[in-house]
């Protein structure tokens, strides 16, 4: 019997949270769920926990693989998934018991290729801190134009809109028709090559979808990790953001997604860069390194055509000031703005 939903769980160094994640999947009100645990060479006790679950529950599969990162772990799960639909869940997060029942029923009723929902932000201790919803009511996207509008909202909002992005990028809040993924040979790129692997995957899915639904509910509980940015800073990340900017631009062109999409891609790129500069300036690396990295970003030639076309005057005032400092490489002003943002 084909499972209704395959849930793929990439696992790395999350021993403290893994039980809660798996137990929440086992408690789903939807029957016939296949749970695929991907041990990405986790250095803790996670491999044994996975094997213990697989020995106890016939609907749980385990794959032990060499460490290759989140995107490749998700691909390993897709390679063995057998469900009618497929979903992803991070191993330090957990889902409400009715998440997949609700999404599956909607997908079945409207023959959806993808169903999006919202999420709840929680601390590492599980304390709620807020919710992120796509919209206030149920919405069905049927035409190519409607789905392309959703795709553009996924990249970033129109420059004239207040919110940065109107829909969640994360693949963890989406139920996908597996047949579409396999038929179109869709897979995740490695986050070690391009950041925001979920964004690229969702762009590919939406570009190939005929019917998509967005739900207002929030079923997914997302832990926000408070680990200091000084421990996770990557000094070459701007080059990855540049590659993402180029890749999304090329993808949208190839997929026929035009109509003002470039301004949205520019807004996405500006947002990622702004946050990255703030992370750099608030990190524990040396002041010399901070200035070198920031100056290199501000002077990069990729900005020249963006400054010519992006409507900077409609930016929120704090972003406009930050962008002004970037354009003129005003390091001291950027430093002050980064401290304020912190």
pLDDT in tens, 198-213: 999 999 999 999 999 9
b (16+ CB within 10 A) / e for 100-126: bbbbbebbeeeebbbbbbbbbbbeeee
Give the pLDDT mean for 134-138. 79
More confident site: 126 or 207: 207
pLDDT of residue 14: 95
Question: Strands 212-223, 114-122: parallel, antiparallel or unpaired by DSSP?
Answer: parallel
Give the pLDDT mean for 86-99. 97
Say if residue 133's pLDDT is above 80: no
pLDDT in tens, 281-305: 999 999 999 999 999 999 999 999 9
pLDDT band at residue 231 under the 50/70/90 scheme: very low
Say if residue 232's pLDDT is above 70: no
Backbone angles phi, psi at 85, to 5 degrees: -125, 160
End-to-end CA distance of the chain: 52
pLDDT band at residue 126 under the 50/70/90 scheme: confident
For residue 274, the SS3 value is helix
Distance CA 181, CA 131 (A): 29
- Listed ranges 135-139, 228-232, 323-327; the one with the highest mean pLDDT: 323-327
Say if residue 123's pLDDT is above 80: yes
**Domains in the chain with CATH codes:** 5-223 (3.90.550.10), 230-341 (no CATH)
Please tell me the pTM assigned to this model: 0.93
Q: Report how far apart, in Å, the C-alpha atoms of 182 and of each of 121, 142, 179 are.
A: 31, 21, 5
DSSP-derived secondary structure letter, 165 = -
pLDDT of residue 229: 39
pLDDT of residue 110: 98
Distance CA 8, CA 12 (A): 13
Give the pLDDT mean for 102-128. 95
Least confident of 70-74, 137-141, 229-233, 334-338: 229-233
Say if residue 15's pLDDT is above 70: yes
pLDDT band at residue 186 under the 50/70/90 scheme: very high
Give the pLDDT mean for 85-110. 98
More confident site: 55 or 196: 55
Say if residue 11's pLDDT is above 60: yes
Is residue 327 a contact partner of residue 303, using CB atoms and an 8 Å limit? yes
| Sign of the four-CA dihedral 105, 108, 109, 114 | positive
Give the pLDDT mean for 107-125. 95
Say if residue 218's pLDDT is above 70: yes
Which of 114, 300, 290 lies closest to 208, judged by CA? 114
Mean of the per-residue pLDDT values of the chain: 94
Give the pLDDT mean for 93-106. 98
pLDDT of residue 57: 98
Give the pLDDT mean for 98-114. 98
Say if residue 228's pLDDT is above 50: no
pLDDT in tens, 142-162: 999 999 999 999 999 999 988
The neighbour count for residue 311, using CB atoms within 10 Å, is: 12
Give the pLDDT mean for 210-226. 92
Percent with pLDDT over 90 in the chain? 85
């Amino acid at each position: 019997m084909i499972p209704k939903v395959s849930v793929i769980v990439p696992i790395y160094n999350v021993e403290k949270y893994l039980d809660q994640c798996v137990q929440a999947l086992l408690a789903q009100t939807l029957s016939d769920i296949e749970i695929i645990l991907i041990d990405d060479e986790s250095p803790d006790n996670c491999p044994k926990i996975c094997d213990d679950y697989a020995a106890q529950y016939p609907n749980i599969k385990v794959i032990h693989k060499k460490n290759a990162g989140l995107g490749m772990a998700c691909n390993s799960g897709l390679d063995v998934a057998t469900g009618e639909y497929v979903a992803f869940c991070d191993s330090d997060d957990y889902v409400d018991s009715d998440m997949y029942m609700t999404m599956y029923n909607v997908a079945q009723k409207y023959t959806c290729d993808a169903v999006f929902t919202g999420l709840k932000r929680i601390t590492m201790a599980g304390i709620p801190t807020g919710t992120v919803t796509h919209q206030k009511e149920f919405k069905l996207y049927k035409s190519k134009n409607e789905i392309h509008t959703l795709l553009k909202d996924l990249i970033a909002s129109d420059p004239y809109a207040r919110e940065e992005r109107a829909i969640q990028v994360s693949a963890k809040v989406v139920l996908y028709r597996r047949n579409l993924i396999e038929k179109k040979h869709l897979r995740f790129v490695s986050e070690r090559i391009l950041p925001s692997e979920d964004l690229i995957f969702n762009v590919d899915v939406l570009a190939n979808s005929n019917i998509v639904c967005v739900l207002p509910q929030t079923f997914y509980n997302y832990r926000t990790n408070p680990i200091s940015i000084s421990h996770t800073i990557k000094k070459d990340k701007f080059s990855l953001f540049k590659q993402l900017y180029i890749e999304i631009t090329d993808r949208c062109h190839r997929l026929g997604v035009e109509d003002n999409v470039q301004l949205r891609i520019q807004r996405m790129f500006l947002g990622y860069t702004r946050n990255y500069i703030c992370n750099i300036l608030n990190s524990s690396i040396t002041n010399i390194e901070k200035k070198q990295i920031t100056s290199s970003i501000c002077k990069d030639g990729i900005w020249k055509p963006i400054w010519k076309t992006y409507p900077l005057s409609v930016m929120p005032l704090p972003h406009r000031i930050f962008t002004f400092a970037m354009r003129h490489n005003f390091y001291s002003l950027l430093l002050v703005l980064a401290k304020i943002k912190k």
